[in-house]
């Protein structure tokens, strides 16, 4: 079975990088969002528009995901669900989620949600940089290369 890439696309800044890697390796790629999104006209890239609602895109991705596939997402709960299905998850800034790191990421997310719910202003993430883009490309290449070697 071939590796597939699923992009949690609504706020993903690295779609072009995913397309390049997918093209290089001939990987089917699904761009999943709640609204129309322009995607390249390519046989291996498929746009999937799901209905609006919390976790609808995440649910679609998890439903279609197989072990060894790759999910590109900033959504930590989606990353945890992908790992539970023995898939890979990587954030756009290049952080590959692992079984060892996902528990801490979920705990930190819950803590930050709690702090924000008390009215504390926590600020947002730092601006997305060229270095983040490069780290993402490196992480995605490593995941795909490792998975291709693992499969017969």
pLDDT in tens, 1-36: 699 999 999 889 999 999 999 999 999 999 999 999
8 Å CB contact between 27 and 69: no
pLDDT score for 150: 86
- Residue-wise pLDDT tens digits, 66-94: 999 999 998 889 999 999 999 999 999 99
Q: Pick from 77, 70, 57: which is nearest to 96 by CA?
A: 70
Q: Which CATH architecture has domain 4-97+126-150?
A: 3-Layer(aba) Sandwich (3.40)
Structure tokens at 95: 């952080």
Share of the chain above pLDDT 90, in %: 68
Other C-beta atoms lying within 10 Å of the C-beta of residue 31 = 24
Q: Model's pTM, two decimal places?
A: 0.85
Report DSSP state, residue 52: S
pLDDT score for 53: 85
pLDDT score for 124: 66
Residue 72 Cα to chain centre, angstroms: 2
Other C-beta atoms lying within 10 Å of the C-beta of residue 117 = 8
How many residues are there in the chain?
152
Label residue 126 by pLDDT band (50, 70, 90).
confident
């Amino acid at each position: 079975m071939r590796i597939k890439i699923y992009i949690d696309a609504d706020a993903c800044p690295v779609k072009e990088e995913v397309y390049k890697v997918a093209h290089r390796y001939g990987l089917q790629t699904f761009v999943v969002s709640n609204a129309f999104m322009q995607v390249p006209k390519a046989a291996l890239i498929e746009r999937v528009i799901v209905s609006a609602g919390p976790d609808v895109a995440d649910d679609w991705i998890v439903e279609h995901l197989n072990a060894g596939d790759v999910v590109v997402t900033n959504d930590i709960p989606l990353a945890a669900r992908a790992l539970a299905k023995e898939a890979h998850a990587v954030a756009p800034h290049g952080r590959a989620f692992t079984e060892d790191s996902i528990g801490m990421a979920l705990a930190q997310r819950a803590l930050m949600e709690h702090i924000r719910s008390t009215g504390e202003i926590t600020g947002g993430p730092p601006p997305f940089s060229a270095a983040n883009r490069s780290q993402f490309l490196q992480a995605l290449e490593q995941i795909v290369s490792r998975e291709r070697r693992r499969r017969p």
